[in-house]
Structure 1
Amino acid sequence: MENPNYLNINNLKITVFQAYLFWENVDKNLQNISLRLSSGVKEKTDLIVLPEMFNTGFSMHAADLAEEMDGKTMTWMAAAAAKYDCVITGSLIIKEKGNYYNRMIWMLPTGEYQHYDKRHLFGMGEEDKTYTAGKDKVVVELKGWKIRLAVCYDLRFPVWLRNNDSAYDILLIIASWPDKRIPHWKVLIPARAIENQSYVIAVNRVGHDGNEVYHSGHSMCIDAYGNTVYYKPEDEDLYTFSINYEELVKIRRSFPFLKDADNFSLTN
């Protein structure tokens, strides 16, 4: 449903970091990200978005790389969120109760956090043999905006991401999406934005990983009409842009087709 107080919802300022990731090197990745944020974040932002497994790269060596929820990377995220007085988000490998999760953290500047465990695990890369799939849809709120969290392979599954009852305003996807499947990425992101009448912000990584898989970025923000707000192929990029809630409302009012959408619920 449309937020009745939308006129009181401010623009959201978002900083995305399409990062080069150092393979399975937590210290080097955290150092690089810290340096880039320190030199590149020149204005107050509401949200900093990092790629999938931003501290290690997309690795199946979970037993060697996993951290606890009070570990080094969580501590770093809390400090970074406090430093920039904003939310910071990205995923990392977490060990919990004997299982490994590809867990997206939504870290507030207060040190409080929410998390989303990746639902769809990439079987072609044997992610499903290493990690445990999440079960819960997670929608967080920031300055009145409702934001649905998703990770990489989730993008291919529109039923999971369906915006029933306008439950969210932004679909936020973090990824390690390889260059050889970028044509799919470039089609699916606008499709998710148009069919769900939401902004889609998708942040990928760049560079080769330890398996010589090349990632070419193509991070982007697409509005609910399918227009491009931000797009960057190939290079490491730290960029800040704003999105407007009133524009989202105008699109939904001009094309109110979500009210005709099929009602359904997932059973597992």
Structure 2
Amino acid sequence: MTITKPAESVEAALPEAPVRIAAVQTVSGPDVDANLKAVDALIAEAAAEGACLVALPEYFPLISSDEMAKVRIREAEGEGPLQSFLADAARRHGVWLVGGTIPLQAEVQDKVRNSTLVFDAQGRLAARYDKIHLFGFQRAEERYDEAATIEPGSTPCCFDSPAGRTGLSVCYDLRFPELFRAMGELDLIVLPAAFTYTTGRAHWEVLLRARAIENQCYVMAPAQGGRHPNGRVTWGHSMIIDPWGEVLACREVGEGVVVSELDPARIAAVRESLPALRHRRLG
């Protein structure tokens, strides 16, 4: 199946009233078909709860002990079963779908781009973001090096959705506030993630709340959350946070969906009472 791109003029209306948004949490394993089946059911659950924009976690199609597995299932933009699944799911469930991340072809032969694709409710490609900051961590026997198999992106991405001006980021990007400043004023930040248990327990919530507070916008963070078949443990705690930094909804571990309202009036009220974005003097 070839993925249809929208015409340049296609643009979602900005919200005038509260809209419902949903973050999906998974515990993905090495079986792609099983992962997609689980995700489809969770998208359906989110749609049934009235969400107009649904976001999936990082690596939702595959988490494997074989780091080259994602290279073997990589796709060219515009074609492939993972992209077909996302486009079809968005269309069937009638939602805008932020497709977590999937592996797309990179310039380097044995690497991938860790890419977020967004599809509108008609199944048309609306945005693409390639993860810029690649995670590296080592403590005792715990070690991660995304740069070994992933080629970084270089361009921030934001777009208009039913939830307003929406900025995309992925997991480790959370630690780099300059990325979010580069996007300008946002109504919503979406951050698919697969935070480790170690770093998540220490930093996940405090960093998400900081990004919401300093950008005076909603933050939605769909995450991997639990013990995976390969033994990896991810932190989970998928959450939605309002512009004052209050956690509106959270799922700690296990598969599920968190849903909350994004209220444009709440954004306006926070920015009116504390006009920090207008007080900026640098950058």
Task: Give the TM-score, by structure 2 length.
Answer: 0.84
Matched, 1:12 2:24: no
Q: Unpaired runs of 5+ in structure 2? A: 1-12, 138-143
Match of 2:196 in 1: 178
Task: State the identity %.
Answer: 27
Counterpart-to-counterpart distance in 1, 2:43 and 2:183 = 35
SS in 1 for 2:58: coil
Match of 1:187 in 2: 206
- Residue in structure 1 matched with residue 101 of structure 2 by the alignment: 91
Change (3 A) 1:194 1:171: same
How many pairs were matched up?
Answer: 257
Deviation at residue 195 of structure 1 after TM alignment? 1.1
Q: Deviations over 1:111-159 (max 9, x none)?
A: 3212100010113322112111111110111136001000000001111
Q: Is the 8 A contact 2:156 2:183 kept in 1?
A: no
Does the C-alpha gap of structure 1 residues 10 and 109 become closer, same or farther in structure 2, counting only changes over 3 Å? same
1:8-43: per-residue Cα shift (whole Å, max 9, x none)?
A: 622121122111212x32111001112333456424
The answer to whether the 8 A contact 1:93-1:103 is kept is yes
1:40-59 aligned at under 5 Å gives the runs 41-57=47-63
SS in structure 1 of the partner of residue 48 of structure 2: coil
Match of 1:101 in 2: 113
Gap regions ≥5 residues in structure 1 = none
Judging by fraction of residues, say which structure has more helix: 1
After superposition, the Cα gap between the structure-2 partners of 1:164 and 1:95, relative to the gap in structure 1 and judged at 3 Å, is closer
Q: Which amino acid aligns with 2:23?
A: V
Task: Provide the rounded CA distance (Å) in 1 between the counterparts of 2:250 and 2:243.
Answer: 15
SS in 2 for 1:14: strand
Is 1:121 aligned to residue 134 of structure 2? Answer: yes
Letter in 2 for 1:193: A
CA distance in 2, matches of 1:238, 1:215: 16
- Residue 227 of structure 1: how far off its partner (Å): 1.2
1:243 paired with 2:262, answer yes
Q: 1:109 offset after TM fit, Å?
A: 2.4
| Aligned pairs for 1:213-252 within 5 A | 213-252=232-271
- Aligned alpha-carbon RMSD (Å): 2.1
Match in the other structure for 1:261: 280
Partner Cα distance (1:39, 1:14) in 2? 12
1: CA distance, partners of 2:217 / 2:113: 27
The residue type equivalent to 1:68 in the other structure is: A
Any idea what the Cα deviations from partners look like across 1:72-106, whole Å, max 9, x if unmatched? Answer: 11001111000111111111111145451000011
Alpha-carbon distance, 1:178 to partner: 1.2
> Take 1:87 and 1:17, find their aligned partners in 2: how far apart are those partners?
13
CA distance in 1, matches of 2:87, 2:184: 33
